Amino acid sequence: MDAEIRAEARAEASIPASRGSAADAVEADQAPATAGTARSLWRDANFMRMWGGQAFSQFGAQITELAIPVLAVLILNATEFEVGVLTASGFAAFLLVGLPAGAWIDRMRKRHVMIVADAVRAIALAALPLLWWAGVLHMWHLYVVALIMGIATVFFDVSYQSIVPSLVRPTQIAEANGKFESTAQVANIAGPAVGGWLVAVVTAPFAIVVTVFTYIASFIVLSFTRDNEVVTPKHERAPIMHEIGEGIRWVFGNRYLRRIVGCTGLSNFASNISFTLLPIFLLRELGFSPASLGLVFALGSVGGLLGAMATPHIVRWVGEARAIPVSAIAFSIAGLFLPVAALVPTIALPLLTVQMFIGSFMVLLYNITQVTFRQRVTPPRLLGRMNASIRFVVWGVTPIAALLAGGLGAWLGVTTTMWIGAVLGLASALFVVTGPFWTLRELPTADDR
């Protein structure tokens, strides 16, 4: 499993002198995130609106994550390399605009960025069923739409991971991240199952239409959400390249963040070598139906939901710092189960379900813990650049892994390529297994880092 985006509220998961204008100040019934006695987020109407909107978005994204590859494989008869290019197109944006996006977002209202990103994604996705209906849909259309979606997602996700501190109080950040991750995992459970059913019953293009409406719903809810961000005045801004460099230096100058980036980046690189070819592996090699494919993801994602719920208890038990290497070891070992399924195809369905369950559970433990630490330790003015710098690395490797997977799949075969990904995944845990995490119980705060 990807240690950042697949399990994170896309995410990476994965979210303040704050920014905005007086006209968009927090409403009277929504106290600023730093004031007063904390109340339950269940009673925070503003947070609940944001949470509800993201539930729609996450649900739709899971349907699309299944529907587009199925459309490519079953309707357009995509080859291994074409599937690799499709995956690479969706993540190329992290290399193209990943770093400047963070600096730009730190100059803008993050909620407004998310609203525009939702609108762009809805419009881009709507083009696919229209092209299919007109009988002119080709693979290059999927590449273009995937690229546009990827760029919008970069801006949405960096904003999403950076806006949490302006919505809730500092002591509620971990709780808010946990709630967002829980919703993502409910979407992971229901989305693929519903998506598989929709693909089987009404075909992949119409399943994509459902996602268009979920992005519209997210757009509407975000429009009615309020935050307490205050945009940095223009005269206080440094040149864009200086601000980008400041974000990079912050991330790689912190010994904890540096190791987290190494672990997450290599894990994502390895897992995407395997997951790029997963639709071909399951649909062609093992003969799964689209509905069975959705069922595997749905049942496995129950682990993610339980992981999000269990994270606070596990962190209290083993300590925040140690939870990171423990989870990394577990999800890297779970990755081996995927190619093993090819050796025992008669039990592939339950084996892959177990693999998804364990991987999702541990990735959620890892993501909630490390994302909360990142948000807590980073100065508010650097939040966007910190998240963008990290995502530039940990998601920037994805298009490279996808293209490599397509080439290796055509050359060595799908199953051999998955073994390569699984073995590389084992090495990712070394970044956090060796280092300061075992010697601490709690990770440092912004004041004692």
Is residue 23 in a domain?
no
SS3 of residue 74 by DSSP: helix
How confident is the model over 378-432, as pLDDT tens digits? Answer: 988 888 889 889 988 998 898 899 889 988 988 998 889 999 999 999 999 999 9
Is residue 425 in a domain?
yes
Q: Is the pLDDT of residue 195 over 80?
A: no
Which amino acid, residue 407? G
pLDDT of residue 201: 55
Is residue 405 in a domain?
yes
| Tally of domains in the chain | 1
Is residue 88 in a domain?
yes
DSSP state of 11: -
Q: Is the pLDDT of residue 90 over 60?
A: yes
Which amino acid, residue 78? A
Is residue 25 in a domain?
no
Q: Where are the alpha helices (DSSP H) in 319-382?
A: 320-334, 337-343, 348-377
How confident is the model over 286-340, as pLDDT tens digits? Answer: 777 777 777 777 777 788 778 878 999 999 999 999 999 999 999 999 999 988 9
Tell me the CA distances in angstroms from 296 to 279, 326, 349, 354, 415, one per residue in order. Answer: 12, 25, 7, 9, 18
Tell me the CA distances in angstroms from 272 to 2, 94, 152, 335, 354, one per residue in order. Answer: 7, 14, 20, 11, 19
How confident is the model over 44-72, as pLDDT tens digits? Answer: 888 888 888 777 777 777 777 777 887 88
Confidence band for 135, pLDDT divided at 50, 70 and 90: confident
- What end-to-end distance do the CA atoms of the chain give, in Å? 30
Section 141-148 average pLDDT: 93
pLDDT of residue 37: 46
Is residue 447 in a domain?
no
Residue 373: how many other CB atoms lie within 10 Å:
22
Section 230-241 average pLDDT: 70
* 335 or 175, which is more confident: 335
* 63 or 231, which is more confident: 63
CATH number where 421 lies:
1.20.1250.20
- Put simply, whether the predicted model's pTM sits higher than 0.75 gets the answer no
Parent domain of 341: 39-439
pLDDT of residue 193: 61
Residues 157, 391: Cα–Cα separation, whole Å = 9
Is residue 166 in a domain?
yes
Is residue 301 in a domain?
yes
Section 107-113 average pLDDT: 83
